[in-house]
Amino acid sequence: VQLQAYGGGLVQPGGSLRLSCAASGSIVGINNMAWYRQAPGKQREWVAHITWSGSTNYADSVKGRFTISRDDASNTVYLQMNSLKPEDTAVYYCNADIHPRGLGTRNYWGLGTLVTVSS
């Protein structure tokens, strides 16, 4: 099982980006899915998560600007980021509780994708 995040890039303040993270492999199901980020010189922090039933929660710093969603048919989680600020600059990581076929549910991290907000 692998998680692959993509969609990062350079964007001006006030702009938008949409991150995607797809899980691949022999998967029975996926429970919670989440996004984290790590800014230069700082610890990794939680950004948002979405449960298997679609309930969402957000860090105060992104509430009202970011939207997390999921597509279970493609085992993909998305992060729509609007009104981006320079302080949103970070490497963004996806995280998921995945039930691989033949194994118990495990927590997986994807490789990060860099988001840079700068004029």
Confidence class for position 88, pLDDT limits 50, 70, 90: very high
CA-wise closest residue to 116 among 5, 17, 2: 17
Tell me if 2 sits within 8 A of 61, measured CB to CB: no
Task: DSSP letter for 118, please.
Answer: -
Render pLDDT for 8-50 as a digit per residue (tens, 0 to 9).
999 999 999 999 999 999 998 999 999 999 999 999 999 999 9
Residue-wise pLDDT for 40-86, tens only, equals 999 999 999 999 999 999 999 999 999 999 999 999 999 999 999 99
CA distance 112 to 40: 13
Write the single-letter amino acid at 116: T
Contacts within 8 Å (CB) and 24+ apart, 27-30: 27/1, 27/75, 27/98, 27/99, 27/100, 27/101, 28/99, 28/100, 28/101, 29/98, 29/99, 30/70, 30/72, 30/75, 30/96, 30/97, 30/98, 30/99
The structure tokens 């991150």 sit at: 19
What pLDDT score does 103 carry? Answer: 87
pLDDT at 53: 94
Question: Is the pLDDT higher at 12 or at 104?
Answer: 12
